[in-house]
Structure 1
Amino acid sequence: MEKRNTALIGLDLTQMDQVILENTHKVIQLLNLEKIYFMHIAEDLALPEDIASTYPNLLAPIDESIEKEILNKVKSLNLPTEVKIEVTAEEGHPIEKLLRWSKIKNIDYIIMGRKKELKGSGALPKRIAQKAPNSVLFLTEDMSDNEFKKFIVPIDFSKHTEVVLEKVEKFIKSNNNAAIQYLHVYEVPIGYHKTGKTYEEFAEIMLKNAQKEFNAMVEKHKIEKHPCDFILKGNQSSADHIMDAALRHEADMVVIGSRGRSDSAAILLGSVTEKLVHINYKIPMLVIKKKGENMSFIEALLNI
C-alpha cells in the first residue's frame, strides 16, 4: 500500500492564502496527503500594550482568533473527510518555527505561496527551500485553474535525479493523464579546443552522450520513456533554460531535485535549483529532497 504523506501549509494572512486554499484539493490528490498542518507564524502576536490596557475586552487572544479564522476558511473548502486537519498560530521567527515543526511532526512537504505582485517580500519561501529537511512545494499567485497534469522535470542523471524519478513515477500512477516532459541541459566543457574539434563538433558529442545516459536511466529504472528535451546551455543559465521550456510546454508544474550532479557537495541547495526558486514566480514548482538531507543543519539550529 502506498505511503500517505503529511504537509505543513504556511499561511501569512494575505491574498496569497486564498490562492493556496483554492488549490488544496489538487495538492492533496497530487501528494497523496493524509494530514495537513495549516500554520500562521508571526514574530509578535501581542496587541500594543496601550491598546490592550485601554480595551481589555477587545477580542480573544490573537492566536486563537487567527486559528478560528483559518479553520473557518479550511472548513469551507470541504476537503476529503479522511484528510486530518490541524490549525495553529505561533509566535516567533518564521523560519525557525517552520523548521522546528517540520522535524517534530515528521513533515513530508512544506507548501508555501510564491509571490510577485501580492503584498509580502517573498523572501521566506526562498530561505525555506534552502534549509528545509523535506520537499517544498511553491504555489504561485497567478497560477491557472488547470489540474496538475503537465510536468516539466529537469534531470542530470545524478543520484538526486533518481529521487525525483521516484516521485514522478508515483504522479504518473496516480494520474493516468499526466504528461511528463523531461529536460536535460548539457554544455561543452572548457578546453574542448584542445581536442582539435570545433565547438559544434564537441556539442554534438555531448548531445549523443546525454542521449545515451537518458536511455540508460530509462532502462535502469524501468520507467516509461517520456520525451526529453536536450538543450545546449550556451551563454544562458540552466535555470533560464528550464523556465523557458516550462513556459513553452505550458507546464502546470516544474519538478526538480534539490541538488544536481555538479552540486553534490552543496550544503543546502544546488545552484540551478536555487536560481530557479529565485526567478520562478509563474509556475508552481516542487523541489524534491531526500527526506532529512539537511537534518544535521536543522539539529544544529534547534539546539542553539
Structure 2
Amino acid sequence: MYRCKRIMVGLDFTLLDKTLITYAGFVSTLIKAEKVYFVNIQKSLDIPPDLWSDFPEFHIPRDEQLRLKMREEVAANFGEQKNIEIDYIIAEGSPLKEMTHLARIKNIDLVIVGRKNELKGKGILPNQLMRSVPCCILFVPETARKRLNEIMVDVDFSDASKAALEVAYSLSEDNPDVTIHCQHIYHVPAGYYFNDKGKEEVNRVIKSYHVLQYNRFIDNLNMEGIHLNPIFTLDEEGDMVHVACNTAQKKGADLIVAGSNGKTTFDTFILGSFTEKIVQLNVSIPLLIVKQKQL
C-alpha cells in the first residue's frame, strides 16, 4: 500500500499560508503522518549592515526571526497533533532547487504547496515543481476546505493509477462516508464508426470492454470498506482534461488525485501531458499528483 509518512509544506509568509497550514494539519491526521517539515525559502538572508542602527531587531539573524514567525503561524493553524513530529527549515537560494533538494535529502513522501489564484504572492510555477520534486505533490488552492467526502481519481489501469487509488484509500480508510469516484476516460478508435454497426452499438461494445478492464483492475486491489463509484466517460472531443475537471465539478469533488505517468510509452506521453494540463487548468479543487518516489 502506497503511504505518505513524511511531509514537507512550503510556506511563503503570504495570506495563503493560513489555509495551507490548516489543510496540511487536516491531511496529516488523515494519512497518519509521522513527520512534517515546514519550509520557507528566501533568495537571500543577508541584512545590509547600514540598517542595523535603525532597526535593532535586525541584530537577530533573519532565519531565526522567520523561524519564530513560522512557529507562531503553525501553532495557530495546524491543530493539535500529538503523534506528529514537526520541524522548521529556513533555507536560502532558488525556491525550486531548494524545495527539490530538501524533498530528496529529507526522504519526503509528500510535498504540500499553495496554489495561488486571487491572493497576492509569487509562487513557483506548479508544473515546474511537479516535474522537479521526487515524490507526490499536493496543490492546495486558496479556497480549500477541511472536507473530504468526495475524491475523484483518474484511472487508466496503470501502475500509476494503482498508486493514486492507494493514496486515495489511505486518506479515506477511517471514514466510511467517503466516496472515491474512479473515472476512466476512453475513446472510440478511429474507423470504428465506419463498420456495419451503429454508433450507439459501437459505443456500447467499447464501453463494455473498459468496464471489464476496470473490474479486473479493482479486483487486484485491496479497497475493502471504501465506496468506489466507477465512472466511464467517452471523450468525443479529444480533451481529457476538460472532461476530468467537468466531472469533478459535477460530483462536488473535494480532492482530485492523478497518477503521473501511464502504462505504455504512448500512455506515458498522454497522461504526462494530461497531468500537466490538469495542474494548469484546475485552480479551485485540491489536486494530488501521485509520483513513484525517486531516491
Would the TM-score normalized by the shorter structure come out above 0.5? yes
Whole-angstrom CA distance in 2 between matches of 1:86 and 1:222 = 33
Alpha-carbon spacing, 1:22–1:186, altered in 2? closer, same or farther (3 Å): same
Equivalence for 1:116: 117
Q: CA deviation at 1:258?
A: 1.1
Q: CA deviation at 1:26?
A: 1.1
Equivalence for 1:8: 8
How many pairs are equivalent?
291
Q: CA deviation at 1:30?
A: 2.2
Contact between 1:114 and 1:138, CA under 8 Å: does it hold in 2? yes
1:102 is aligned to 2:107 = no
Contact between 2:153 and 2:183, CA under 8 Å: does it hold in 1? yes
Q: CA deviation at 1:184?
A: 0.8
Q: CA deviation at 1:167?
A: 2.0
Q: CA deviation at 1:7?
A: 0.3
Contact between 2:41 and 2:98, CA under 8 Å: does it hold in 1? yes
Of 229, 232, 235, which aligns to 2:234? 232
Amino acid at match of 2:259: G
Alpha-carbon spacing, 1:264–1:135, altered in 2? closer, same or farther (3 Å): farther
Whole-angstrom CA distance in 2 between matches of 1:262 and 1:200 = 29
Amino acid at match of 2:103: S
Equivalence for 1:299: none
Amino acid at match of 1:100: H
Q: CA deviation at 1:61?
A: 1.7
Q: CA deviation at 1:196?
A: 5.1
Q: CA deviation at 1:205?
A: 2.5
Amino acid at match of 2:51: A
Q: CA deviation at 1:166?
A: 2.1
Whole-angstrom CA distance in 1 between matches of 2:144 and 2:171 = 19
Equivalence for 2:273: 271
Whole-angstrom CA distance in 2 between matches of 1:104 and 1:227 = 38
The normalised TM-score by structure 2 is 0.89
Equivalence for 2:82: 81
Alpha-carbon spacing, 1:244–1:203, altered in 2? closer, same or farther (3 Å): same
Q: CA deviation at 1:8?
A: 0.4
SS in 2 for 1:99: helix
Equivalence for 2:284: 282
Alpha-carbon spacing, 1:237–1:4, altered in 2? closer, same or farther (3 Å): closer
Q: Deviations over 1:50-83 (max 9, x none)?
A: 7436547342221111110001121234421221
Whole-angstrom CA distance in 2 between matches of 1:24 and 1:222 = 26
Query: Taking every aligned residue pair, what percent have the same amino acid on both sides?
Result: 29
Q: Structure 2 unaligned runs (5+)?
A: none
> Over the residues paired in the alignment, what is the CA RMSD in angstroms?
2.6
Whole-angstrom CA distance in 2 between matches of 1:78 and 1:168 = 22
Q: CA deviation at 1:220?
A: 2.4
Contact between 1:263 and 1:271, CA under 8 Å: does it hold in 2? no
Whole-angstrom CA distance in 2 between matches of 1:264 and 1:116 = 32
Amino acid at match of 1:80: Q
Equivalence for 1:35: 35
Q: List aligned pairs for 1:206-225, cutoff 5 A.
A: 206-224=206-224
The normalised TM-score by structure 1 is 0.86
Alpha-carbon spacing, 1:279–1:169, altered in 2? closer, same or farther (3 Å): same
Equivalence for 1:185: 185
Equivalence for 2:245: 243
